[in-house]
């Protein structure tokens, strides 16, 4: 779990890669849930919030460039 400050220090390319990684983790967690294997149920909220943080920072960068 990273803070928004940590994400603001990253480049736009790195943020895109981080977003892909977080989406992949979210997908894997959903698949585990579907198979009945849920050892890390607390990760759902953490990953969802991190995705929101990354998207917010990306939108801030795009708004700053406009």
The structural domains of the chain, with segments of one domain joined by +, span: 4-65
pTM: 0.86
Q: pLDDT below 50 — which residues of the chain?
A: 66
Which fold is adopted by the domain 4-65?
A: Helix Hairpins (1.10.287)
CB atoms within 10 A of CB 44: 15
Cα separation, 17 vs 66, in Å, equals: 22
Q: What is the pLDDT of residue 21?
A: 96
- Which residue, among 7, 1, 2, 5, has the nearest Cα to 58 in the 3D structure? 7
Tokens 């943020």 correspond to what residue? Answer: 15
Q: Which residues contact 22 (CB under 8 A, 6 or more apart)?
A: 47, 50, 51, 54
């Amino acid at each position: 779990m990273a803070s928004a400050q940590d994400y603001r220090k990253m480049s736009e390319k790195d943020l895109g890669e981080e977003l892909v990684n977080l989406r992949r983790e979210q997908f894997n967690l959903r698949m585990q849930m579907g198979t009945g294997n849920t050892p890390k149920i607390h990760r759902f909220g953490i990953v969802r919030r991190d995705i929101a943080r990354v998207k917010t920072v990306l939108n801030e960068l795009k708004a700053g460039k406009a």
